[in-house]
Structure 1
Amino acid sequence: MTGRRRWSTEEILDTAAELLRTGDAESFSVRRLAAALETDSSSLYRHFRNKTELMRAVADRILLAAMDGHRPEGDWKQRITALALRLREAFGEQLQIATVWGRYGSGGAGSRLVMEELLQALRASGLPDDEIPGHYHRIVILLSALITSEAGISATTSKEYEQAMEQFRVAVLGADPERFPALAHFARDIRPLAADRRAAFEETLAAHLAHIEAQIP
């Protein structure tokens, strides 16, 4: 009787990433991954202690890819902006894994590279050392929220998008001006969530960095 094939850690992560790319984080399970590899779940637990550890490893590979070849350039704001856009682009190609990162974090080598660059950039800003951890934490939360929300919108099907747009038009353009006077006034200028995502991403980050800059002694 032929024994089951032994899969490497990288092969397991490749398959997990593909399942997440074509499915969703909610339905993903170690059992489904094992079935895709034609093995049993116990063999996967030799590589990862649980599903959370596996998910973190998948997300960390995206961070490693984003940091591959990265060279810090410019002032501290330019460095943070460049890093943020690299993360956005990397997770933009792996939409479901963006939600994994937002939920589980990482903690691996890729995560440490991102943390190091953010902390070094904030140090270069002239902020006192005791204020840097707090600002770092808020930037990470902001980036995670922006990238995860964008991934959620980008993952919708064309049919779902059309339905959402129709609901948006009804809710905004059809608003009763007596009950919703402000909404009716701005209705033709209000944009749906899916519009101008990159511009909104950059402007939100720029505003936050300007807020930090105003606090530098």
Structure 2
Amino acid sequence: MAGRRRWSTEEILDTAAELLRTSDAESFSVRKLAAALGTDSSSLYRHFRNKTELLRAAADRILVAAMDGHRPEGDWKQRITALALRLREAFGQQPQLAAIWGRYASSGAGSRLVMEEALQALRASGLPDAEIPARYHRIAVLLAALIAAEAGVATLTPAEREQGLELFRVAVLGADPERFPALAHFARDVRPLGADRRGAFEEILAAQLAQIEAGIP
């Protein structure tokens, strides 16, 4: 009788990523992954101790892919901006994993590559070494929040998106001008969260980098 096939770590993560394209992290389970692979959960626990560790590894592969072929160019602000846009684009292809990254972070090779590039760019800025870890942390939190938030919007179905826009119109255009005078005044110009996210992403990041630059001796 033939023995049960042994799946490699990469094959397991490939299948996990495919499952996460059509489901979220809450409904994802090691049991479902094992069923998709035609094996049992115990065989997967030889590779990953639990679901969270598996999800972190899957998210880290997105970071590895984002950094593949990356060559730092320009000054420190251009380097951090290019890094941020690479991460945004990579997670845009797998939005469910962006939410996982924002929630759990990661600690694998991809994470180290991203951290190394961000820290090197900050050192090139002229900031004192003592200030760099805190500045790095602010940038990391900002990027994780922006990318995860955008991913949440990307996972909406067309029907959910349209329903959200309709509710937004009702909330804004239907606001009582006596109770919400500012909202009523700007109602026709206020845009929903899903509008021009790329522009907002770059502008918020640029503001953070400008703040860092202002503190450089």
Which residue does 2:161 correspond to in 1? 161
Segments of structure 1 that go 5 or more residues without pairing to the other structure are: none
Aligned twin of 1:209: 209
Structure 1 position 116, deviation (Å): 0.2
Equivalent residue number for residue 119 of structure 2:
119
- The within-5 A match list for 1:32-111 is 32-111=32-111
Cα displacement (A) at 1:40: 0.6
- AA aligned opposite 2:40: D
Post-superposition shift, 1:3? 2.7
Distance 1:104 1:177 in 2: 42
The one-letter amino acid of 1:167's match is L
* Structure 2 equivalent of residue 200 of structure 1: 200
Counterpart AA for 2:13: L
What's the offset of the Cα at 1:33? 0.5
Q: Provide, for residues 23-68 of structure 1, a one-character-per-residue CA deviation record: whole Å limited to 9, x for no partner.
A: 1111011111001111011100111111111111101110000000
TM-score normalised by length of structure 2: 0.99
- State the distance in 2 between where 1:191 and 1:108 align: 38
Mapped to 2, the partners of 1:13 and 1:28 lie a distance apart of 13
Query: 1:123-138 alignment to 2 at 5 Å?
Result: 123-138=123-138
Give the superposed CA RMSD: 0.7
Give 4+ residue runs of structure 1 displaced > 3 Å after superposition: none
Aligned length: 217
CA distance in structure 1 between the partners assigned to 2:150 and 2:99 by the alignment = 10
Separation in structure 2 between the aligned mates of residue 89 and residue 211 of structure 1, nearest angstrom: 25
Uncovered stretches (5+) of structure 2, i.e. residues with no partner: none
Q: Which residue of 2 aligns with 1:180?
A: 180
- Matched letter for residue 23 of structure 2: G
Give the distance between the partners of 2:15 and 2:206, measured in 1 at CA: 37
CA shift, 1:102, in A, is: 0.7
Per-residue deviation at 1:2?
3.2
Cα deviation, 1:63-96, whole Å, max 9, x if unaligned, reads 0000000000000000000000000000000000
Identical positions, percent: 82
Q: How far apart, CA to CA, are the structure 1 residues paired with 2:25 and 2:131?
A: 35
Which residue is equivalent to 1:145?
145
Q: Secondary structure at the match of 2:188?
A: helix
Deviation at 1:134, TM superposition (A): 0.2
Task: Give the counterpart letter for 2:57 in structure 1.
Answer: A
Deviates more, 1:136-145 or 1:45-54: 45-54
Q: Distance in 2 between matches of 1:23 and 1:32?
A: 11
1:178 partner letter: E
Q: Tell me the distance in 1 between the aligned counterparts of 2:37 and 2:43.
A: 10
Q: TM-score, normalised by structure 1?
A: 0.99
1:69 maps to amino acid: G
Which AA in structure 2 matches 1:68? D
Amino acid at match of 1:35: A
- SS, match of residue 156 in structure 1: coil
Alpha-carbon distance between aligned partners in 2 of 1:172 and 1:104, rounded to the nearest angstrom: 34
